[in-house]
Chain A
């Protein structure tokens, strides 16, 4: 380093001196980190978006363009034929509504029954409490398809095969382990003082639950709801096994519809239509998420003030 007695002007590349004082230094650090932060976030965003965009482009490509062409090239034409095929032949619209209906009711049921069970298990001591709790939790660890054949027989015996009622009940049943597991943990963390105050005011157990505890548990409820919606929306094995019989195809949910096109594509190879169907089915989900993103975040963070 040069021997200069007079203070050197602040230079970005002079590591030994801290002429700008701590505040300025921190700002530079922030600038650098901000740059790195933005680069890493942007890269991840590209990693997420590239396959999705590519799929969107692929829905306009011919089989030859898709499998033999340059992956980065644009399709030769942006004709909507493949979308028309997906809509007409694959009935994406109807399956979407079916999915919406089933998942809507099943998630609502799951949340209601799940939180009721979790609440009781978390906050009341009684004989058999632990047994029931572990019964629920153990369900997390078992692969669904092993239960398929026995499950089919049970549902069939109850006359619920190929009905929405049956499917919804089964969805609820298979979502309960996860829901109960996490909500129980959450209900345990809720402060006792509020509950005691409510009881002082003469609230019944039921009122205490619906009017005091449920609102307090909102953040947890929101995040588990999201999780259940996603899980049930993507469920495939259960509807395949249970929605069969006459006119079963009209009751299909979206994943079945897409898998059907995918299987068909293996034989007749209309990949463009398949990707079109995929785009049609995920667009609404993405729009809904983007739209409710704030509420979801808010719900998740509502527990901030303790």
Chain B
């Protein structure tokens, strides 16, 4: 496992392995194709070469056997001419032997009593002994040739034929040779069978001829007779004592049997099979004259010996090459990666906060050099950025501190002591303001002058410092402008003129101004583009139907229209900014006016504080932690009857 982990962590190791694996795949594909094509080429070449050699050999054998056949064919007419001269047969076989030195023997054998004076056996037989031709009569009770294959076969088939080879043993010197005979039936003048003319040839030349056919170091030729007997075999103990089928009698071998049958059928071809435990290609072709069959056995390891050696060498070279490639790849990649590694170490140092640590100079212009340069640039940028960040952070901390102070100042601008008029039991008023940023753009205010309650609630366009400044200005303007005898629409008009004047920032604000005569309960009000307040009366909540007018600061000439309610005593109002109805939850759904009415109209509340708290709780639960996008200001007011 440590090795695997090391492999996983080491880029050079991984890269090296991948390169070698890829190269190995290419090698396997290329070598596989090459070996396949080469193997087929070698096989086809071997097949062609072996078949040709075999064919030439069979032709040579055929030529020699043809000579033997011709010697008999050239003789039989003389036999027929002298069928009444038995003694001539001895001269004839002598001449045949002298004229055909390739022969091993020649006989002219006759049926019993064909020559009445010669009795049951008459066979003129000539053979070579000590370099000269010997002639004798060979038939007798110990050698009843009438029952021999060479005599019976042409007699029964009534046509010339070759006998299956047989072993001729010379007991005098213990030597043995394999003989075959070409036999022709002889016909008497009356058409009856008269005897057989046969010429013998030793097959020792056959072994020599076939042994010389050796296209591969361990290849060899065999020849089988029509009964499958081995006529030629490198293991001479098998000659004529075993056939190609002998070994299959005890242990069946379908491959050998199929080969033997094909050879006996006189077929020509090639079979791949196991011979003596090794895979071999056996090419076979019949000798047409005799019906025998010659086979050339070529061990596969011989045919593909050169190919296999080449393959082993190439595979060894490729394997060594791949190992060397792996080694070199790792070395090269390691060397190439060294600057990167130093870069990593330096980066580690930098990551600990040591930004001043100098980067190594690779002195290269390649990707790694560029990476080092980029890293160096990044380091410098990082150092500058961090310096800037430090400065900015310090500045931001200072501003944040100032904003905290500004918020405190802003919050101090609006009344925050409740109940605001503890000496008056007829006024129940509670307000709360929550800026979306450190300082907000919402405002509310109220005061009593000459038994008249003035109040306002507003929302400045934009938040933060600009909004808060306009809010502060507006609040002060309200305090300054709102005087007894001045209706809310007049207040709105005066403030609008002041705010709209020199309004280069194009800032504006919505506001709701109200004035309640505490004696009569009459409420005058002017809505300047603000949200309509909620009126709660008798446990039911609804939005007050108000004229929208326009926000302050937009049009200095706008003629704001005021409205009034005759007596609002016993009724409660909730004034709010759009931070309430437009408050969004994480799914970006707005709180909406419907929920507002539900909260306020669902059940009676005992005080303005409770109404504001209930609404605050409802909206807090609704937004579910989502960041507020707008300031939220609530003001609840209820005038009780004295």
- The judgment on whether A and B are partners is no
Interface residues of A (CB under 8 A from B): none
